[in-house]
Amino acid sequence: MIHFYELSRLDTDQRARLLRRAETAIDDLLDYVRPIVRGVRDRGDAALLEYIERFDGTRLSADRLRVSREDIERAYEVLNKDVYAAIKQAIRNVRIFHERQMPHEQWFTQVAPGIMAGEKITPISSVGLYVPRGKGAFPSVMYMLATPASIAGVPRIVVSTPAGPDGETDPATLVAADLCGVHEIYRVGGAHAIAALAYGTETIARVHKITSPGNPYVSAAKRLLYGTVDVGLPAGPSEAIILADESADPELVTRDLLVEAEHGPDSSGLLVTDSRILAEKVLSLMPSKIAALPEPRQTFCNTGFESEKGTGGVVLTSTMREAVAFVNEYAPEHLEVQVREPFALLPDLKNAGEILIGPYTPIPTGNFSIGTNAVLPTGGFAHTYSCTSVYDFLKRTGVAYMTEEGYESVSETTRRLAEFEGFPAHALAVTQRKIRS
């Protein structure tokens, strides 16, 4: 039986369970991941190679950790031409979208006569991009992360991605990295990859920021390393809401509902609708649609929609207003809107990693090819975090300049506030200031 919830009939505990994500399980993994992180910190490459063999089943030597130029050239040779063309088109769209985000390098405004204040925008000096491979190869994650980093002008873009059992890195991922201007690529994944990027090893120099999606082990490592390195936005197990009314096509809604759910058993997909007719039609269509999927995707969807631990299903609300309120409370990673007048509803949709509007804008197009970024906050963090963009790879520095006139206009205000807050050196730096001619 597919999970079905009538929102108005749920008690507080049931509602809390519905809002629960796989993110909440990360706490249980911290004790498991902690010794891995410490091992890389204390033993560097030796620990890294040990963990690669233990967790990935890949035996490497230290000189094979870094992907060579020859490896990349070989990837171009073996990559399917149609896949190559698709990657190039997708990168083009992603690049065009993100180039429009770039702010001016600096700006000033006159606060008062003789007082100029503004900002200087500079790229982060080094970033680590983690590209997972556990249940498949993800060149799309590569270009979603590397394209804005490259546009932002990051001088050192480092990628960490697991190798297969044969020790080779996915060719499509390597080609995408090269097309996006990545500077270094390493064959390492999991929590140990995050630790290597954060602390550095003999082979991998540390970075100043890490951004990535990842499984709960990667998310746990990032949580442990918060404060050691900027760990970027929380991007854990996939999740999506399809917000629909009676005008939506049940067939399309059902297919779209399976999109994020097939990522893994800890992923979520919810239909939220005020139409009982639509809800019932989707519930009747889902079993056959799930059964038609190959393994392991079929099992992933069954787990998400039918098992006791699953967090996917169909949510029926009394009104569209109630549906929108629930979506904003849930703050999904992906939000697909299939209602009669979506642009009228758009101003009320406040919390989502991305909003995809209309039946011709399904989640897969956002994941791969539209141009908007598909590395998004999960676990309800769309309440406070934004989608990945060039801003994730830039930093702002305040800049100010005053003339003598400007200084004189604020010196007394500065002295009074400094003395009020108990900082005599602050006050003296103003009252005893003599500028030599």
Task: Give the predicted TM-score (pTM) of the model.
Answer: 0.93
Amino acid identity for residue 418 in this structure: A
pLDDT at 166 over 70: yes
Q: Is 263 a catalytic residue?
A: no
pLDDT for res 61 = 94
What pLDDT, in 10s, does the model give residues 175-185?
999 999 999 99
What pLDDT, in 10s, does the model give residues 291-336?
999 999 999 999 999 988 888 999 999 999 999 999 999 999 999 9
Out of 262, 333, 336, 354, which one is annotated catalytic?
Answer: 333
pLDDT for res 22 = 58
What pLDDT, in 10s, does the model give residues 12-25?
999 988 888 755 56
Residues 177/185, Cβ–Cβ less than 8 Å: yes
Q: Which of 56, 73, 74 has its CA nearest to residue 65?
A: 56
> Measuring CA to CA, how many Å separate 98 from each of 92, 153, 374?
10, 12, 12
d(CA 240, CA 270): 6
Q: What's the residue count for the chain? A: 437
Reading the block at residue 158, the tokens are: 């480092």
Out of 334, 354, 405, 412, which one is annotated catalytic?
Answer: 334
What pLDDT, in 10s, does the model give residues 22-41?
555 677 889 999 999 999 99
Q: Which of 305, 339, 304 has its CA nearest to residue 321?
A: 339
Q: Which of 398, 395, 390, 396 has its CA nearest to residue 124?
A: 395
Phi, then psi, of 234 in degrees rounded to 5: -75, 110
Q: Which residues contact 224 (CB under 8 A, 6 or more apart)?
A: 30, 33, 34, 37
Residues 139/148, Cβ–Cβ less than 8 Å: no
Across 214-221, average pLDDT: 88
Across 337-345, average pLDDT: 97
Reading the block at residue 108, the tokens are: 């000033």
For the CA atoms of the chain, what is the radius of gyration?
Answer: 25
Across 198-220, average pLDDT: 93
d(CA 253, CA 282): 7
pLDDT for res 135 = 61
What pLDDT, in 10s, does the model give residues 230-240?
999 988 788 99
Task: Give 198-220 as a DSSP string.
Answer: HH--SSS---SEEE----HHHHH
Across 400-415, average pLDDT: 96
158: number of Cβ within 10 Å: 24
Q: Average pLDDT of the chain?
A: 95
Phi-psi label, residue 181: left if phi above 0, alpha if psi -120 to 50, beta otherwise: left
Q: Is 192 a catalytic residue?
A: no
